[in-house]
């Protein structure tokens, strides 16, 4: 199924597309990953085709014109697997970096979202992917609410993701009784594609893989290339005392959320964010940490 069919149907000049991918896994066994990361790359529907052309150009530059449509996969590129086996490490890293530099450009029209869950903090009765998807939808919906003149948002997922689970979850999000902050700007279903057919979904994979390595392996080679595209907002501090004027604006990083029992759980060191303001209390960007106790209370409050 071609992507331009639903895009043409839903106001292509105003609509936002959120390409979703993940890193880590949602399992709970001893062999499972410590974290599940769910990420999203948002771009206006009117801009995705131009972005595809630029990424294809980067791939052709590094792999040759006859391989301009080669599928990008983050872990394969950095580890030298599959079609990337014959490339030297420096060449593979250069390709990886240039793609992320492209989406990190201020005028590129890209906005990024990352939800990272330290899985051992969550009760086994809670599905890690469901929790992460709900949080990502909330972040994307908040972004659309602030974006002004825009159309609805459409979620685009890898066909190999938990398709039935995500479809059911989106249906629940749009059911009665749930908070509007989860759904009021989102189209009522998700769109599933094969990763090799969607260049932007492949780019989302690279961004997720880079951010996951940053969180779990202290690999800070790539995050600075796109960190400025992680969505943030300025909000006014509440006035202190009678007659006080509105406080100075404070940046709230609602495009990034780290969920754990404590801010340092699952982290081996203070993460070297370069452009996001980090608090002393959490060593994480302002507004990004969510205590799992507060998360569970919020879910229960809304019957989730």
pLDDT reading at 9 higher than 80: no
**pLDDT tens, residue by residue, 10-51:** 455 678 999 999 999 988 888 999 999 999 999 998 899 999
Compute the distance between CA of residue 58 and CA of residue 65 in angstroms, rounded to an integer.
10
Residue 247, domain extent = 4-301
Judge whether 39 and 22 are in contact, CB under 8 Å.
Answer: yes
Assigned token pair, 184: 């009021």
Cα torsion for 217, 223, 227, 230, to the nearest 10°? Answer: -50
3-state helix, strand, coil in the chain (%, to 5): 40, 20, 40
Assigned token pair, 210: 């880079």
Compute the distance between CA of residue 239 and CA of residue 237 in angstroms, rounded to an integer.
6
Work out the number of other CB atoms within 10 angstroms of the CB of residue 65.
Answer: 10
Judge whether 140 and 256 are in contact, CB under 8 Å.
Answer: no
Q: Which residues contact 176 (CB under 8 A, 6 or more apart)?
A: none
**Which pLDDT value is given to residue 234?**
77
Query: Of 81-95, 171-185, 190-204, which gets the smallest average pLDDT?
Result: 171-185
Compute the distance between CA of residue 118 and CA of residue 73 in angstroms, rounded to an integer.
24
**Which pLDDT value is given to residue 179?**
56
Compute the distance between CA of residue 27 and CA of residue 30 in angstroms, rounded to an integer.
9
Assigned token pair, 137: 């939808």
**pLDDT tens, residue by residue, 180-199:** 556 678 887 788 899 999 99
Compute the distance between CA of residue 219 and CA of residue 213 in angstroms, rounded to an integer.
5
Q: Which residues contact 34 (CB under 8 A, 6 or more apart)?
A: 24, 118, 119, 120, 216, 266
Judge whether 154 and 18 are in contact, CB under 8 Å.
Answer: yes
Domain count, the chain: 1
pLDDT reading at 173 higher than 80: no
Q: Is 70 helix (H, G, I), strand (E, B) or coil?
A: coil
Residues of the chain with pLDDT > 70, as a percent, come to 85
pLDDT reading at 8 higher than 60: no
């Amino acid at each position: 199924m071609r992507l331009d069919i639903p895009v043409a149907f839903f106001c292509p000049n105003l609509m936002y597309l959120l390409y979703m991918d993940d890193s880590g896994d949602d399992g709970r066994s001893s062999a499972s990953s410590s974290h599940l990361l769910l990420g999203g790359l948002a771009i206006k529907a009117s801009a995705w085709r131009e972005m595809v052309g630029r990424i294809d150009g980067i791939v052709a530059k590094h792999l040759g014109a006859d391989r301009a449509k080669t599928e990008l996969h983050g872990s394969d590129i950095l580890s030298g697997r599959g079609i990337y086996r014959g490339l030297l490490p420096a060449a593979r890293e250069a390709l990886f970096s240039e793609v992320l530099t492209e989406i990190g450009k201020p005028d590129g029209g890209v906005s990024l979202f990352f939800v990272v869950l330290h899985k051992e903090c969550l009760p086994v009765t809670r599905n890690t992917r469901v929790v992460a998807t709900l949080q990502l939808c909330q972040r994307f919906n908040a972004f659309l609410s602030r974006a002004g003149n825009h159309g609805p948002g459409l979620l685009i997922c890898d066909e190999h993701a938990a398709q039935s689970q995500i479809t059911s979850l989106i249906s629940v999000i749009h059911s009665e009784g749930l908070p509007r902050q989860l759904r009021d700007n989102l189209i009522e279903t998700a769109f599933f594609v094969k990763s090799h057919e969607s260049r932007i979904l492949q780019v989302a994979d690279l961004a997720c893989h880079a951010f996951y390595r940053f969180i779990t392996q202290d690999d800070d080679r790539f995050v600075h290339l796109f960190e400025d595209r992680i969505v943030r907002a300025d909000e006014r501090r509440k006035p202190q005392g009678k007659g006080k004027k509105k406080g100075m604006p404070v940046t709230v990083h609602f495009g990034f959320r780290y969920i754990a029992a404590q801010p340092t759980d699952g982290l081996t060191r203070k993460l070297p964010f370069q452009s996001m303001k980090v608090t002393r209390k959490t060593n994480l960007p302002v507004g990004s940490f969510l205590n799992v106790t507060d998360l569970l209370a919020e879910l229960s409050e809304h019957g989730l």
